Amino acid sequence: MSFLANPFLPARWFKLPERLEDGDAAPAQNALANLMDPFGVGRAAIDYWRDGVERSILYWDVMRERGNQYLEHMEQTKPNVLGFKTEVLVDGRTLARPTNYELLRVLPPEGVHIDPAKRPFVVVDPRAGHGPGIGGFKPDSEIGVALKAGHPCYFIGFLPYPEPGQTVEDVVEAEVEFLRHVIARHPDITEKPMVVGNCQAGWQLMMAAALEPDVFGPILIAGAPLSYWAGERGKAPMRYTAGMAGGSWSTALTSDLGNGWFDGAWLVQNFERLNPANTYWKKQYHLYANVDTETTRYLEFERWWGGHVVLGGDEIQYIVDNLFVGNRLSTAQLVTQDGRRIDLRNLRSPVVVFCSRGDDITPPPQALGWIRDLYEGEEDIVANEQTIIYCLHDTTGHLGIFVSGSVSRKEHSEFTANMDYIDVMPPGLYETTISRASEREDAELIERDYLLEFSPRDFDELDKDVQHRPEDDRRFATVARISEINLGFYRLYMQPWVRAMVTPESARLMRRMHPIRLGYRLMSDRNPLTVLLPTMAQMVRDNRHEVTEDNPFRTLETLVSDQIVSNLNGFRDLRDGATETAFLALYGQPLLQAAVGLYGDAHVHRRRPGAEPEHRRFIAHRQQSLREKASQGGAPEAIVRSIIYVLGGAPATDERNFKRLRASRAKLDSQVSLCEFKRLVREQFFILKLDRDKALATLPGLLEGESNEALDRHLQQLTQVFAASGALSENGAERFEQIKMLFDQARQKPKAISKASSASVNSDTAQAGAKRAAPAKRTGTKPRPKR
């Protein structure tokens, strides 16, 4: 029987008689086992018990390794979990306004070739309780994808502790300075760097881009909350936290208890409470159930998840008051210390918003609601010359957006591959969809495994994901007012006493005794009770007896685990539902709203900035200016306008159309620089958008003076451009025929030539010129030229 080899019981206890240890010993053992346990239940139970004991020892040894890893990681001066080698280029502590951020150059792994002519790629990691490195955590990551594509890569990380007096605005200015340094390192590249901001880094980058738009190329924000009041009822529990805590006074209290520092472990604890089933059971059980194969992956992730950092008290208070509670970023209400308004409408770079319906930390309404907060409609986006693209994943969680290898190989690979296309896309609101190339009929025209398509969207379609409720705005505005009142009371009556009692030693002890931090320390080699674990774990590994999946007790274990998860999920749903109900009832009270001066207020200080009269005048002036430009320009404007008009006939666009645009730019390279080409694309799109009839009617005038041979070359060029990725759609082909007719109207008529003497030739030529100069009579037929 298998239990005879149990390493925890002496072998002599189960030693068989000598006659059973000969060649026929096995049949004798099986016969005895079948006689004593005819259904095999006992043997299955003993096998499962032995496997359970071994897994338990291995599990606790992994916990010990996790604790040792945590202590080693936290004792480093510059801890991070990047999976790539780097070198420091700029230390933020040396800037005029010092910060704990730094700019790193990512060194390409062996065998990876970097193309110096390609656009730089910059990843900014979130500082929301954890340390840096998640954006380059493993080969299949945001950085890994960009390196494989040949882009020079840079990483903006941070140190565990902030600089004295550091503010959010200091960090924003540091990131701008880092990008200027990246641009200076690539003077021959005209495109600005593509910048990726994960989670908290996303809204921070948007602030920087609103203040200094000229240093940013395309911006990808992954799982980044920008509209904090938004959310679908029943699926956004974190947005009620401030209201149920009475505002941001608790943040100030926690910072004061930390002697001016806010421990990021508190933020991590808030994240973990969102999903108690995963935090308290599922994650740990998955390791226990698969301890033979999951150890490495688990420890790699825990190295980042347990790498807690510290934020400055002023920083976290600014974030909570202005963003989480005040929601001032998406409504252009933030003003810097030197008087500059942070208005996201100032962005001139395309913005890609990547979010997921499975994300309970940054649900789609919070990732996309800022678009609705700022703009009245898609026409307003176009008028501001902005390109906004959003991509909705169906299932992945918050961390999966920038950690999952499958997401990196699919979504992030496509975003990276199409960044040049995104950079020249006309202004507007688009949604992306990704399809597998092998499942399409036109697979031979697609260069990679997936195809990224862009479909125009309007605000009615956007509202299906944002689900805006005006009555909820008044509730959250009430929370903001009460938060200001409670914070004022705390600062007046409690803060002086708290600060007087706190010392650096007590603050350090409080951080060390945080439940999350303490859990790592207790299960490490510094705890003498773990001294036997390494020896016992090695014994198990040397003589492992893993139970098979068909063991009935292993199946029962899985069923029990699923039931525990179901119960914890039920508790979460009950808790979140009760919290939401209490929040809506409490802050929906007219008496409470009136007490803070909000009852009956139609705007509740969330007035959309796009509705301001001066902004309307700006849009009207811009539209009039573009209408006047419809008849200005030459052949480059005519060609680009023709391309946009023909390609605009399709309901969606993708990278194959970018091939056409790129081919067009190659044809115009001798006349138009890359920056000028981008300006042409956007300007001609606006002209067609504002008045398509006038844009087409003035097209022949743009070609005036071009010879017939030049016009033939232009038409041949357009034909090659449109054929770059297959045949045009039926609508596109019809539009191309219309363009050909407009080009023919610009053709020069053949000059009149006579075979008489030179005098008569001159006379006839003069008469012909006079006839062409005179207005033609409307006789219903066109005058035929002389032959």
For tokens 């954006």, what's the residue?
Answer: 135
pLDDT at 27: 66
Average pLDDT over residues 465-494: 93
**Residue 296: Cβ within 10 Å count:** 9
Name residues whose C-beta falls within 8 Å of residue 720's C-beta, 6 or more positions apart in sequence: 663, 667
Indicate if 647 and 727 belong to the same structural domain.
yes
Beta strands at 450-456 and 310-312: parallel, antiparallel or unpaired: unpaired
Q: In what order do the strands lie in the sheet with 121-124?
A: 86-91, 101-106, 153-158, 121-124, 194-198, 219-222, 351-356, 387-393, 428-436, 450-456, 653-654
Instruction: Give the separation between CA 639 and CA 716, rounded to whole angstroms.
Output: 11
Residue 486 CA: distances (Å) to CA of 33, 262, 476, 561, 682: 73, 19, 15, 43, 49
Tokens found for residue 596: 């803070």
Instruction: Give the separation between CA 325 and CA 587, rounded to whole angstroms.
Output: 14
Q: Which of 416, 435, 423 is nearest to 140 (CA)?
A: 416
Instruction: Give the separation between CA 116 and CA 185, rounded to whole angstroms.
Output: 10
The predicted-structure confidence for 695-725, as pLDDT tens digits, reads as follows: 899 888 888 888 888 888 888 888 877 775 5
The predicted-structure confidence for 217-249, as pLDDT tens digits, reads as follows: 999 999 999 999 998 888 888 899 999 999 999
pLDDT at 667: 59
The answer to whether 124 and 156 are in contact (CB under 8 A) is yes
The predicted-structure confidence for 168-204, as pLDDT tens digits, reads as follows: 999 999 999 999 999 999 998 888 999 999 999 999 9
Instruction: Give the separation between CA 684 and CA 699, rounded to whole angstroms.
Output: 11
Indicate if 438 and 542 belong to the same structural domain.
no
Tokens found for residue 455: 């479909």
Which residue among 428, 452, 467 closes a domain?
Answer: 467
Which range of 38-52, 224-238, 284-298 scores highest in mean pLDDT? It is 284-298
Beta bridge partners of 654: 453
Is the pLDDT assigned to residue 757 strictly greater than 60?
A: no
The answer to whether 664 and 644 are in contact (CB under 8 A) is no
Which residue among 467, 502, 533 closes a domain?
Answer: 467
Segments forming the whole domain that contains residue 97? 86-229+327-467
Instruction: Give the separation between CA 135 and CA 550, rounded to whole angstroms.
Output: 39
The answer to whether residue 671 sits within a structural domain is yes
The predicted-structure confidence for 143-160, as pLDDT tens digits, reads as follows: 888 898 899 999 999 999
Indicate if 529 and 628 belong to the same structural domain.
no
Instruction: Give the separation between CA 645 and CA 662, rounded to whole angstroms.
Output: 16
pLDDT at 511: 94
Phi, psi of 159 (to 5 degrees): -95, 165
The answer to whether residue 608 sits within a structural domain is no
Indicate if 630 and 698 belong to the same structural domain.
yes
Is the pLDDT assigned to residue 114 strictly greater than 50?
A: yes
The predicted-structure confidence for 496-536, as pLDDT tens digits, reads as follows: 999 999 999 999 999 999 999 999 999 999 999 999 999 99
For tokens 């043997």, what's the residue?
Answer: 43
Is the pLDDT assigned to residue 116 strictly greater than 60?
A: yes
The answer to whether 232 and 363 are in contact (CB under 8 A) is yes
The answer to whether residue 571 sits within a structural domain is no
The answer to whether residue 733 sits within a structural domain is yes
pLDDT band for position 323 (cuts 50, 70, 90): very high
Residue 113 CA: distances (Å) to CA of 189, 218, 390, 398, 449: 18, 23, 31, 32, 21
Instruction: Give the separation between CA 690 and CA 692, rounded to whole angstroms.
Output: 6
For tokens 């979010």, what's the residue?
Answer: 355
Name residues whose C-beta falls within 8 Å of residue 333's C-beta, 6 or more positions apart in sequence: 326, 605
The answer to whether residue 259 sits within a structural domain is no
pLDDT band for position 548 (cuts 50, 70, 90): confident
For tokens 């490195």, what's the residue?
Answer: 133
Instruction: Give the separation between CA 154 and CA 118, rounded to whole angstroms.
Output: 13
pLDDT band for position 608 (cuts 50, 70, 90): low
Average pLDDT over residues 568-596: 94
HSE-CB at 448 with a 13 A cutoff on CA atoms is 18
The answer to whether 681 and 639 are in contact (CB under 8 A) is no
Indicate if 445 and 367 belong to the same structural domain.
yes
Helices H, strands E: what count in the chain? 35, 13
Average pLDDT over residues 26-37: 62
Calculate Rg over the CA atoms of the chain.
Answer: 34
Average pLDDT over residues 369-375: 90
DSSP for 51-70 reads HHHHHHHHHHHHHHHHHHHH
Q: Which of 681, 688, 118, 196 is nearest to 424 (CA)?
A: 681
The answer to whether 583 and 472 are in contact (CB under 8 A) is no
The answer to whether residue 650 sits within a structural domain is yes
Indicate if 211 and 348 belong to the same structural domain.
yes
The answer to whether residue 777 sits within a structural domain is no
Indicate if 65 and 139 belong to the same structural domain.
no
Residue 229 CA: distances (Å) to CA of 115, 327, 722: 43, 7, 45
Is the pLDDT assigned to residue 650 strictly greater than 60?
A: no
Provide the mean pLDDT of the chain: 83
pTM for this model (two decimals): 0.82
Is the pLDDT assigned to residue 16 strictly greater than 80?
A: no
Based on the structure, what is the number of domains in the chain?
A: 3
The answer to whether 474 and 593 are in contact (CB under 8 A) is yes
Percent of the chain whose pLDDT exceeds 90: 48
DSSP for 90-145 reads EEGGGSSS--SEEEEEEPPPTTPPP-TTSPPEEEE---SSB-S-GGGSSSSSHHHH
Instruction: Give the separation between CA 177 and CA 174, rounded to whole angstroms.
Output: 5
Largest CA distance in the chain: 135
Indicate if 625 and 683 belong to the same structural domain.
yes
Average pLDDT over residues 252-261: 96
Indicate if 31 and 93 belong to the same structural domain.
no
Indicate if 338 and 462 belong to the same structural domain.
yes
Indicate if 741 and 635 belong to the same structural domain.
yes
Instruction: Give the separation between CA 177 and CA 88, rounded to whole angstroms.
Output: 14
The answer to whether 339 and 345 are in contact (CB under 8 A) is no
pLDDT band for position 661 (cuts 50, 70, 90): low
Alpha carbon 455 to its chain's center: 19
The answer to whether residue 434 sits within a structural domain is yes
Instruction: Give the separation between CA 641 and CA 480, rounded to whole angstroms.
Output: 49
Provide the CATH number for the domain around residue 100. Answer: 3.40.50.1820
**Residue 465: Cβ within 10 Å count:** 21
Average pLDDT over residues 98-103: 96
Instruction: Give the separation between CA 673 and CA 692, rounded to whole angstroms.
Output: 26
Indicate if 44 and 177 belong to the same structural domain.
no
Instruction: Give the separation between CA 680 and CA 424, rounded to whole angstroms.
Output: 10
Is the pLDDT assigned to residue 445 strictly greater than 70?
A: no
Is the pLDDT assigned to residue 167 strictly greater than 90?
A: yes
Instruction: Give the separation between CA 13 and CA 752, rounded to whole angstroms.
Output: 120
Is the pLDDT assigned to residue 752 strictly greater than 50?
A: no
Instruction: Give the separation between CA 706 and CA 723, rounded to whole angstroms.
Output: 24
